[in-house]
Structure 1
Amino acid sequence: MPYYPEWKIKKPYDKAPFYLKETIGKDIIVYRTKMYVPTKPSTVKRIFQVLHFLFFSLKHIPSLPIKSKVLVVAPFTINILLGLLLKWFKKCKIWCHVQDFEFDLGIQNFKLGFLSQSLYFLEKNLLKKCDKVSTISQSMKKKLYLKTSIKGYYFPNFIDLDSYKNSFTPHSYYLDCTKPNLLYSGNIGEKQDWAFFIRFCHFNIEKFNFTIVGDGPKLKWIKKQLYKQKNVRFYGLVKSSDLPRLLRSFDAHLLFQKNNILDSVMPSKLLGMMASKKPCFVKGNKESEIKKIIQVSESGIFFDDNNIEKITESIIEYLANKKAIEKKKTVTENFLKENFSQKKVLLDFKKSINNI
């Protein structure tokens, strides 16, 4: 999909036909449709984007076999309509996997006002017509039930732990020096508390080195705020195959989210941070699911306030206790194996999809 980190259609598909059929391996057929992607999103442009994809994807429906099992990933929520057409005309079974409640985000960001109730009514009725609905976090599962009375299935993001076991050489983004190197890697967007991050960098100019790896709508603004900071460096995203090496190279990871926002989605980047076996220092809402995960996995410290001095002292003290960090690595690894390993999650998914 032409989204983060490249907000455009990637090569070689940028020059491909509007409709494209591909075969991967021996038996995987992929139907592709080009879609409109706004460079500067607005309410009207987002609606047009969704309808553009929905309308032009209709062409592929006759090509799909009858009585198939169809997995619909939302967002876009409106894509459920495509699945329901297959259910009604081709007797398919529909599993909707909700990665985010996009209508909540749209109403919050674009102030849709009188449209809110209509969107929630549409969302509820689309989801209730699916044969199965899953979410990526326990918080979202509860939210789904409150919205629709549907007892959803927990299908979390997962991680290939084997890719974090090989020996490696430090990534070129890592700066070898006496100060701890702290990393943020991922989307540079609205959910993170960048105002706090900037103050934290200023306060700790002598204590830490900061590396920001990523892209997103807030990047230019953050660079402008930190351009004089000699302890802050910016880099573009690395390939997914190189991500484990990047995450394992640094001394610790930072994820500062806004305290006043209770996000029901667990950031997928958190799994990579934890799998690296490096301490994770996370700030956010004290009622969030992330807090429980950090505490149970013993993968770092969760902060629910904006006390920079207190957070700085806690991080310095934590990093100084090397023996404690080593002991906690085993707890974190076992937690990931039991809850988020690729093998376990996909095995459970396979069993569930066979039963719909």
Structure 2
Amino acid sequence: MRILIYGLNYAPELTGTGKYTAEMAEALAHGGHEVRVVCAPPYYPEWKVGEGYASWLHRFETRKGVRLWRAPLWVPKKPSGAKRMLHLASFALTSLPALAMHALWRPHIVMTIAPSLANAPGALALARITGARSWLHIQDFEVDAAFDLGLLKNARAARTALAFERWLMKRFDVVSSISDKMVERAVAKGVALARSFHLPNWVDTTAIYPIDGPSAFRRELRIGEHAKVVLYSGNMGAKQGLEILADAAAALAARDDIVFVFCGNGATKAALQKRCANLRNTRFLSLQPIERLNELLNLADIHVLPQRGDVADLVMPSKLTGMFASARAVVAMAHPGTELYEAVSGRGVVIEPESVGALTDAIAMLVRHPDLRARYGEEGRLFAQERLSPHSVFARLEERLKSLIGDAADTRASDAADLAIVRMGDHAPILTQIEKVE
């Protein structure tokens, strides 16, 4: 099959949508498909275009068997609601020439990734022109989240945006998302059940696994052997609600046996560091390279997954997969009945969002009970091995792609099981050709 993936984020971004889009594209290419990607230069979560990537030039590169067309975009230094909209619109506009170039290539599948939904009209247009099947994959319901977070407040704009979202989604041949609850939300927005598909994020449990002995990060951060580490690793943005975790660190500041480690970058990191400036029980790390991810996740005695209550049912955090695979206990904030609640229940501790007291109680309880931490860790890793492996996820994706186009395309694909041997998450840059795309 010829598969075109159209999305804002891509490797070498280490977190979020870019990581998963790249791994999916590489797995499909390894399986024998011809895969091309139209994306932006790396900028997330630092909100700064990566070194070596010009902001206003089109660029072509080949990376692990996938041909990439990178279109320029505007990246605000301090993203806000209006600035984010302009940021997304800039990529949707500048990427159109790169998208249009592929009309002559005639892809069998045009897949667009949300966020950003601003890409969806272009993807639909290309699919209609070329006779390709259209696929929308939703990592985040960005319209719902934007209004719930207060990034956009105008009621008329909300109704317009939601109506446009529903109109778009109903026109794709397949609409997929990363959890059952998010698929249900898509159906509630008007997507036909037969066109919906559950495509969860995955984790390579051969790359993320429990290590023997203390993590090297413990020594680097000067954390004593007796102390238990509470780790947050990921994007530091508005929807994470990290101020709750900072308040929990303040509440437990008198204890010398609990240390909080914040690892990542993002729009709220500076404010978080300022909030924790006088707390001796906190440490900060920048986003770590992929080759140190397993060491980082093994630093934790307890992983924490804070979320604001107003978005707790809108997203299924991708970082949960690595937490489970590391075989460490997890404390997550989620409402009953959400996918996150059901995923963590029985494999960790679930508390109501935005409750500092509940968070400190959960952490203190797990510190007191090492046997319970170990049991939760074992259950989480078993779940990752059985439900979130690349082999099982990509085998289902391969099957749906084939059924979508039927016998019209020469798939040239090897057995789906071959996809499992792809080394997921290894995004060391491999640039075999660079040139301007006119």
| SS in structure 2 of the partner of residue 140 of structure 1 | helix
Whole-Å separation in 1 of the counterparts to 2:272 and 2:73: 30
| SS in structure 1 of the partner of residue 295 of structure 2 | helix
Question: 127, 133, 138: which one pairs with 1:98?
Answer: 138
**1:154-173 Cα shifts (integer Å, max 9, x gaps):** 01111111102485661335
Question: 265, 278, 281: which one pairs with 1:215?
Answer: 265
| SS in structure 1 of the partner of residue 304 of structure 2 | strand
- Conservation of the 8 A alpha-carbon contact between 1:35 and 1:53: yes
Residue 158 of structure 1 aligns with an amino acid whose one-letter code is W
**1:59-109 Cα shifts (integer Å, max 9, x gaps):** 122335214212111111121112112222111111110111222223332
Residue 206 of structure 2 corresponds to 162
Identity of aligned residues (%): 26
Write the mapping of 1:167-206 to structure 2, written as runs, cut at 5 A: 167=211, 170-172=215-217, 173=220, 175-206=223-254
**Aligned-residue offset at 1:266:** 1.0
- Conservation of the 8 A alpha-carbon contact between 2:313 and 2:334: no
**Aligned-residue offset at 1:193:** 3.1
Question: 176, 185, 190: which one pairs with 1:148?
Answer: 190
| SS in structure 1 of the partner of residue 328 of structure 2 | coil
TM-score of the superposition, structure 2-length normalised?
0.74
- Conservation of the 8 A alpha-carbon contact between 1:69 and 1:94: yes
Whole-Å separation in 2 of the counterparts to 1:307 and 1:32: 42
Question: 1:228 aligned to 2:272?
Answer: no
- Conservation of the 8 A alpha-carbon contact between 2:109 and 2:133: yes
Write the mapping of 1:244-263 to structure 2, written as runs, cut at 5 A: 244-263=294-313
Residue 106 of structure 2 corresponds to 66
Whole-Å separation in 2 of the counterparts to 1:46 and 1:337: 37
- CA change 1:322–1:44 in 2 (3 A) is closer
TM-score of the superposition, structure 1-length normalised?
0.90
- Conservation of the 8 A alpha-carbon contact between 1:137 and 1:264: no
- Conservation of the 8 A alpha-carbon contact between 2:111 and 2:136: yes
Gaps of 5+ in 2: 1-8, 10-41, 405-438
Whole-Å separation in 2 of the counterparts to 1:260 and 1:115: 19
Whole-Å separation in 1 of the counterparts to 2:234 and 2:361: 25
**Aligned-residue offset at 1:218:** 1.9
- CA change 1:134–1:177 in 2 (3 A) is same
- Conservation of the 8 A alpha-carbon contact between 1:66 and 1:90: yes
- Conservation of the 8 A alpha-carbon contact between 2:47 and 2:267: no
Question: 29, 41, 49: which one pairs with 2:79?
Answer: 41
**Aligned-residue offset at 1:43:** 4.5
**Aligned-residue offset at 1:285:** 2.8
- CA change 1:189–1:47 in 2 (3 A) is closer
| SS in structure 1 of the partner of residue 403 of structure 2 | coil
Residue 128 of structure 1 corresponds to 170
Residue 274 of structure 1 corresponds to 324
| SS in structure 1 of the partner of residue 274 of structure 2 | helix
Residue 400 of structure 2 corresponds to 352
Across the aligned residues of Structure 1 and Structure 2, the Cα RMSD in angstroms comes to: 2.4
Whole-Å separation in 2 of the counterparts to 1:266 and 1:308: 21
Whole-Å separation in 2 of the counterparts to 1:312 and 1:47: 36
Whole-Å separation in 2 of the counterparts to 1:114 and 1:307: 32
Gaps of 5+ in 1: none
Question: 1:110 aligned to 2:152?
Answer: yes
Structure possessing the higher relative contact order (Cα contacts under 8 Å, 6 or more residues apart): 2
**1:104-144 Cα shifts (integer Å, max 9, x gaps):** 22333221321222222221121111111101111111111
- CA change 1:28–1:191 in 2 (3 A) is closer
**1:317-346 Cα shifts (integer Å, max 9, x gaps):** 434433444444443222112221122111
Residue 88 of structure 2 aligns with an amino acid whose one-letter code is V
Residue 63 of structure 2 aligns with an amino acid whose one-letter code is I
**Aligned-residue offset at 1:352:** 0.8
